[in-house]
Structure 1
Amino acid sequence: MGFGIKTDYINGRKLDLNKSYRLLIKPVVEAKGIDCVRADEITHSGSIDVQMYKELLQADLVIADLSTLNANALYELGVRHALRPYTTIVISEDKLMYPFDLNHVVIHSYQHLGDAIDYEEVERFRGALGNIIQTVLDKNEADSPVYTYLNSLIPPKLQAELEKAVVDSEKKKPTQEVGKALSLIIQEAEDAIDVMEFSKARDLFRSAIFLSGGNIGQRDHYLIHRLSYTNYKAEEPDLITALYQSLSYLQSINLAHSNDPETVSTAGAVEKKLFECGEGEQHLEDSILYFQRSYYLLNNRYNGINLALTFVYRATSKLANCDQERIADLVFAQRTWKRVLFLCDRDWDMIFEKEKNDQTLINDGTKEGKELQEYYNIQKYWILVNRAESYFGLGDFDLYRKNRDASNNVPFHQWQLESFTEQIGKLAAEMKKVGHLLEPKWISPD
């Protein structure tokens, strides 16, 4: 399976596959007394491909998660089906549009909400997967289409001499991170982000890219997204240089033609900052295009809020050369804010209902319960400040203050408050320049 956040390019959905692994797969396998290892958890000192092929041949059980039609997972499933006649299980999230050639493969589905998995679904699928694993282990029936159709085929075995030669060769080819699994490096990087150590996180993501195969343009997009983000947040040797470097990372994964929402939304953020740093109006134009692409792909609040701000920027920039154009940009911003308010209401109802259903788990004091409460707090905070910003832009300052004050009653991190305060400051400064063009006029609350 993939790791980190992956995009389903057919529908634009982003899925956190680490949650699929940590919540749905690993605990079920380990409950059966079986060691559970994902490719990025393998400790190795040579080519990861050597160890991967050995595992695909020798593993007593393989679970392939094809969510997002991950090309590597599909290829590795094909290799497993060619090497072993049985003990292979195929799963995916339930909105997978899988190709015709997989129609004859049994695929067990689970429901993924994008950035979370409902805990009722966790319990359901854990039980279902446990039963499937037991059934597969108890009977030696071919689940590989290769061995089903070529029923006289004899499975290969690895010669002991070859295995020894592989081990010896691995010892002679150390990498930068000898003996450290890719998953540990990535987790260290994410932990560094949590405490705002962006330089450390950037260097760790660089190591992760090296360990996973080398050239940036050929590597996992999730790692490039995180490298780009931590690189410009580190602001080294200075912010503008870091922003251009981050943009080059994104360009290496086909930014110009990508329909990956995470790629284009990250590019939108970088281009917006370059414009704010005085690097020219072309960066504003590009930022609007990137945020539009990601907003229309995902229909989400984050890209909507940023898209509205860039429209306001355009109304006060040299790109708008008459009042008619400025009014048009402001109308686009207003429409976007109104849509964000609709999305906030939709997301609030969903989060509130899910939190209510998960109270038993939240209150039991476990690590999973604490993580779940943290997730709900973060979601509620962003919904409230997104509402507040939208009402501010629309000139409804009573509702702006109501939602701003409500956000202060939800546990939050200091950086979240700083981010919201900075965004409101930017919006206020620009609206003061052009708000008089609207009907009714936008009048500053100050």
Structure 2
Amino acid sequence: MGFGIKTDYINGRKLDLNKSYRLLIKPVVESKGIECVRADEITHSGSIDVQMYQELLQADLVIADLSTLNANALYELGIRHALRPFTTIVISENKLVYPFDLNHVVIHSYQHLGDAIDYEEVERFRAALGNVIQTVLDKTEADSPVYTYLHALIPPQLQKQIERAVTESVKTEPAPEIGKALSLIIQEAEDAIETKEFAKAKNLFQTAALLSTSNSGQKDTYLTHRLAFTTYKAAQPDLVTSLYESLALLKSIHLDTSNDPETVSSAAAVEKKLYECGEGESHLEESILYYQRSYYLLNNRYNGINLAMTLVYHATSNLAISDQDRIADLIFAQRTWKRVLYLCDRDWKLIQEKEKNDQALINDGTKDGQELQEYYSSQKYWILVNRAESYFGLGDFASYRKHVEESKNIPFHPWQLESFTEQIGKLEAELKKVGHLLEPKWIAPS
């Protein structure tokens, strides 16, 4: 399976595959007395491919999660089906559009909500997967389509030949030094982000990206996103230089043609910061284009609120050559804020429903319950301040103040308040320049 946050390019949804693994797969496998290992948990310092082939050959059980149609997972599933006739289970989240050639493979589905997985779904799928594992371990029927349709294959002979080849391959590999599993490096990097040690996080993500790069040079998009983020946050040797370095990283994963909303919105944020740093209006134009692409792909609050901000920037820049241009920008920004308000209402209802369903886990005192509570609090905080910012842009200052006060009752990190306050300050400064063009006029609150 993939790891980290991955995008399903068919529908633009982002899925946290680490949660799928940690909540749905690993605990079920371990409850059966089986050691559970994902590729990024293997300790290595040489080629990961040799170890991956060994695991696919020798593992007593393989589970392939095809969510987001991860190309590596599909390829590895094909290898497993070729090597072993038995004990392979295929799963995916339930909105996956299956490729035609997988129609004859049994795929066990689960419901993934994007950022989270409903606790009731966790319990349901854990029970279902546990039953499937037990059934697969007990039966002797082939679950590999290769051995189902090619009856003449003799797995023991084929297995011995491949095992000898793999053994010889290992002998030619230089003796690896004791290293860290990729998953541990990534976790250390994420922990460093939490403590604002961005330079440390950047170095760790650089190591992780190097380890995960395939022999063909293909980069992992999730790690590139995180490396780009920590690069400009580290601001070394200075902010502008780090922003250009971050942009180059995003361009290395085909930014111009990518349908990955995370890649595009990350580039939009970097271009926006470059414009704010005085690097030229071409960066503002690029930022608007990237935010538009990701906003229309995902129909979400984050890209909507930032698209509206860049449109106000456009109205006050030299790119708007007449009052008609400026009014057009402001009207478009107002429409976007109104849409964000609708999205806030939609998301608030979803969060409340999910939080209600997950109360049992939240209240059980476990680390998972604590993380889930923090997640819901963070989502509620962003919804409230997104509402506040939208009302501020629309000139409804009573509603703006109301939602700001409500946000203070939600647990939040200081950086969240800092980010919101900074954005409101920039928005007010720009609207003071052009707010008089609107009808009714936008007049800054006293």
TM-score normalized with structure 2 length: 0.97
Q: Which residue of 2 aligns with 1:261?
A: 261
Quote the residue 1:312 is aligned against: 312
Classify 1:337/1:53 alpha carbon distance in 2 versus 1 (closer, same or farther; 3 Å): same
Aligned counterparts, 1:97-108, within 5 A: 97-108=97-108
Superposed displacement of residue 37, structure 1: 0.3
Aligned equivalent of 2:222 = 222
1:172 maps to 2:175: yes
CA distance in 1: counterparts of 2:21 and 2:113, whole angstroms: 14
Q: 3-state SS of the aligned residue for 2:159?
A: coil
1:43 alignment counterpart: 43
Secondary structure class of the residue paired with 2:63? strand
| Aligned-residue offset at 1:46 | 1.7
Q: Is the 8 A contact 1:300 1:340 kept in 2?
A: yes
- Quote the residue 2:2 is aligned against: 2
Matches within 5 A, 1:10-409: 10-155=10-155, 156-158=158-160, 165-174=168-177, 178-213=178-213, 218-409=218-409
Cα RMSD for the two superposed structures = 1.4
Output the CA distance in 1 between the equivalents of 2:12 and 2:97: 12
Q: What secondary structure is seen at the aligned counterpart in 1 of 2:91?
A: strand
Equivalent residues of 2:50, 2:170 under 8 A apart: no
**CA–CA distance in 1 between the matches of 2:341 and 2:356?**
22
Q: 2:166, 2:300 → 1: CA distance?
A: 50
Contact 1:64 1:77 in 2 (8 A): yes
Shift of 1:140: 1.0
What is the CA distance between 1:20 and its match in structure 2?
0.4
Taking the aligned partners of 2:255 and 2:168, their CA distance within structure 1 comes to 42
Partner of 2:437: 437
For normalisation by structure 1, the TM-score amounts to 0.97
Q: Does the Cα contact within 8 Å between 1:395 and 1:443 map onto a contact in 2?
A: yes
C-alpha distance in structure 1 between counterparts of 2:192 and 2:349, whole Å: 33
> How many Å apart are 1:215 and its aligned residue?
8.2
Work out whether residues 217 and 253 of structure 1, in 8 Å CA contact, stay in contact via their aligned partners in 2: no
Q: Structure 1: how far apart are the matches of 2:214 and 2:66? A: 24
For the residues of structure 1 that align with 2:215 and 2:193, how far apart are their CA atoms?
Answer: 23
User: In structure 2, what is the Cα distance between the partners aligned to 1:410 and 1:225?
Assistant: 28
Distance 1:291 1:246, change over 3 A: same
Q: Distance in 2 between matches of 1:77 and 1:60?
A: 14
- In the TM superposition, residue 170 of structure 1 has moved relative to its aligned partner by 4.0
Deviation at 1:228, TM superposition (A): 0.4
**2: CA distance, partners of 1:362 / 1:410:** 16
Instruction: Describe the shift of the 1:306–1:432 C-alpha distance in structure 2 as closer, same or farther (beyond 3 A).
Output: same
Secondary structure (helix, strand or coil) at the match of 2:405 reads helix
For residue 204 of structure 1, what is the amino acid of its counterpart? Answer: L
Output the amino acid matched with 1:76: E
Aligned residues: 443
Q: Which moved more, 1:282-291 or 1:37-46?
A: 37-46
Please give the alpha-carbon distance, in whole angstroms, between the structure 2 residues aligned to 1:90 and 1:392: 49
